[in-house]
Amino acid sequence: MDTILPSDVKDRLSRGEKLAIIDVREDEEVAEGMIAGAIHIPLGQLPERLSEIPQADEVILVCRSGNRSGRALGFLEAQGYKGLKNMTGGMLEWED
């Protein structure tokens, strides 16, 4: 599984990079804050919302701790998506 650190995501965003980020947390978790520009698709809704996931060279998956985003990565890989990265540590490691 390809991974990326929250600090690397933050650095790249601060340099103005446009990143494809999918946040798979639940509504109440996202209400506490999410990465600017991320697309919110709860894990359970992924199968019916595949069309919203960009076919990009790199798609970063985010959850609270890195667990659900890892499951999302496995599911999306099985659907043929490439360039997926799991943000290890999730939003628990994200420092605003």
Catalytic residues: 63
Within a 10 A sphere around the Cβ of 81, how many other Cβ atoms? 18
With contact defined as beta carbons under 8 Å apart, do 84 and 73 qualify? yes
